[in-house]
Chain A
Amino acid sequence: MIKDSLFTIQRGDRWHVISEDYSYKTDSYYTILRMETEGKRVEPSTAALIDAFVVPICLERAKIAGIPVCEWEISQAYVPLPSIIYGLNYFASASEFFVVYDNDTAKEVIKHLTNRGKYPFCYQKLEENAEIFRCIAIFGKTSASPEAIKNIAERIYKLFSIPLVKMAFVKTGKDYALSSLSPARYSHLSDDERSLLEAYISRQEFL
């Protein structure tokens, strides 16, 4: 799987587009947009991609669908500690987040993510014992072992229909809450994940 390559699978009257970067205004995004304009049934949709990769929208949609999510707030400067912080602007990406435990680091991170206070940002307050857990989902399947994650991955796929996505969770005790979704690079896939994705592309694995 070469960097930037894009795969299209047709199943019946439905098209699935697989990409390692579905971000807004990428070639993948516009390829999907063109198929939508042509009237093709294509997944993921451009609307779902923006919903998925803008953190507060992703979490609100997931919450309404009954998926456990992190509580979020929008701020211009204040952040409680500890928290996860995401940028919220044209240049921000959900794959770039910061966990802050002290005020000095928080200030630096906020300066960076808001272009010196130009934009608001999104934070999620963490419990003291919370951990971050990240894994990849391929057509809603994940090689991560916790049952809770397997279940959430399937529900996230039902909601956004993104064939390849990286999920970030906050684990507090035994509970997992969704923190964000972001594109997943081919080079970050494990051997198992790569085999699974290739099986879908070569139609050995059926949808």
Chain B
Amino acid sequence: MSRLGIFVDRKTLSNSEQLNALIRCRDVAETLGHTANFIFPVDIKKIKKMDALFIRARTDPMNITYVAAQMARFHGIPVIDDPESIRTCSDKINMYSRLIKENVSLPKTVFLSKQELNVERVTRLFDDLGTPLVVKEPSTSFSLRVEKVSDIADFFKVARRFIKLSDWIVVQQYVESKYDWRIGVLDGKLLYACKYTIPSVTFKIQASVNGHIVYCGVDSVPPEEVPPHVIQLGIDAGNAIGRGLYGVDIKNNNGDAYVIEVNDNPSIESGEDDCYPHVFETIISHLFAA
């Protein structure tokens, strides 16, 4: 019997959907004949005693999840998300660098360092990438610290705020769409697909509207109803990062598909996998097959 560790953090475990998904994951592990052990940050030394580790908490190289991933790696324990995937996906500069290197279809993307933050350079960005522009702080997640800007004054206001958090920021061409595809990829294969419908008031996936967090609609979509080129782009984007578990966000505008981002630790708790009943089984089997 193998032991699966499920790493959780009370700070990012905040609603019943998440808790239900964790319990479902544990039940699946037990049905497959394994034991499942929840591991909190204070239990981190227990990772050595596990046979595989599945991280279900907000990942960042600067927080405890990265310590957990590295503990697993140092002791030869298969882990999702692996340290490289966390390092790459948590930092948009790193993530887009990989995608650009592998020629994955993206909106036009430029990195801007704080030394380059001047009117001349910013004017050229609007000329090259069009109006509006999207400005991203590299550690953004759930679309926090992503802003759409329409003129130079706006650009500076947002960029100055982001530059305090990072010496380089991301500037991107704006691509309009009514919804995003989310392609779940594991080890280079399609795991699930769904649509995230964007709230009409703002262009982001999750946004604060009048001080309230607005979640997008989630619709799981069976594979035969997903455009094949969207699935292929999701797989290509995942492969550009690694062989782990990724949620790839894709905008498909008039048949031109662009990767908006690749997320490690994708959410599997809001019905993303309704059409894919074996998602947890596949993940757990993959971990133990490693």
A-side residues, CB < 8 A to B, are: 24-27, 29-30, 33-34, 37, 46-47, 50-51, 54, 56-57, 60-61, 64, 73-76, 88-90, 92, 118-120
Contact = CB atoms under 8 A, between A and B. Distances in A.
B42 A75 contact: yes
A191 B256 CA distance: 60
B80 interface: no
Nearest to B111: A30
Given A47-B84, A74-B41, A76-B42, A92 B62 contact: yes
Interface in B138-168: 138-139, 165-168
Interface residues of B, number: 34
A96 B175 CA distance: 42
Contacts of B44: 56, 74
A178 to B, nearest CB: 16
Nearest to A27: B167
Given A57-B67, A90-B139, A30 B62 contact: no
B63 A25 contact: no
B165 A25 contact: yes
Nearest to A26: B167
Contacts of B97: 33-34, 37
A27 B168 contact: yes
A119 B63 contact: yes
A25 B41 contact: no
- B contact patch SS: helix
A75 B43 CA distance: 9
Contact of A25 (B45, B66, B84, B168): B168
Contacts of A119: 11, 63-64
Contacts of A46: 87, 94
A6 to B, nearest CB: 11
27 contacts: A24-B61, A24-B91, A25-B138, A25-B165, A27-B114, A29-B167, A30-B167, A33-B94, A33-B97, A46-B87, A47-B84, A50-B61, A56-B44, A56-B67, A57-B67, A60-B70, A61-B74, A73-B42, A74-B42, A74-B44, A76-B42, A88-B63, A88-B64, A90-B60, A90-B63, A119-B11, A119-B63
Interface string B41-77: 1101100000000000000111110110011001000
Contacts of A33: 93-94, 97
A29 to B, nearest CB: 8
Question: Which 6 residue pairs of A and B lie closest in terms of their CB atoms, listed nearest first?
Answer: A120-B41, A27-B167, A25-B166, A37-B97, A90-B62, A30-B168
